[in-house]
Amino acid sequence: MSEPTRIPAPAGVAPAAQYSHVVLGTGRFVAVSGQVALDEEGRIVGEGDPAAQARQVFENLRRCLAAAGAGFDDVVKLTYFVTDMAYMPAIREARAAHIPDDRLPAASAVQVAALVRPEFLMEIEAYAVIGT
């Protein structure tokens, strides 16, 4: 199975900070819907605590990826939806527990006015490519 190729700084583009500008992959495409801080029984985890919510969200992403036969090494893109950009350090810390700095996917971060439930501080979606 070939690994995705990460290009953190294409020629003529400012170097990326905390993500890769381009990730190339071959194989099957996996899209993981935005995950929020709910446990397996649908209970909120870490209400008001961005670090606890980020850890739960990444655990949910891990489980969803595993269900597709993928892992964080296969992730080529993450999209972060946050109600406050001040939560990004907590998200980066939770991400670092799963994805080393030399394997960072492409990423986008968007501040939103609200998520589907007011207690959610963030929602994160993932795209992965796994070998055929």
Contact 23, 5 (CB under 8 A): yes
Residue 126: per-residue pLDDT: 97
Answer whether 0.85 is exceeded by the pTM: yes
Beta bridge mates, 128:
30, 75
pLDDT digits (tens, 9 = 90+) for 51-67: 999 999 999 999 999 99
> Domain 35-130 adopts which CATH fold?
60s Ribosomal Protein L30; Chain: A; (3.30.1330)
- The percent of residues above 90 in pLDDT, for the chain, comes to 73
Domain ranges of the chain: 35-130
pLDDT digits (tens, 9 = 90+) for 39-50: 999 999 999 999
pLDDT digits (tens, 9 = 90+) for 76-93: 999 999 999 999 999 999
Contact 27, 90 (CB under 8 A): no
53 or 132, greater pLDDT: 53
Residue 3: per-residue pLDDT: 75
**Residue 76, token pair as written in the block:** 């080529």
Confidence of residue 35 (pLDDT cuts 50, 70, 90): very high
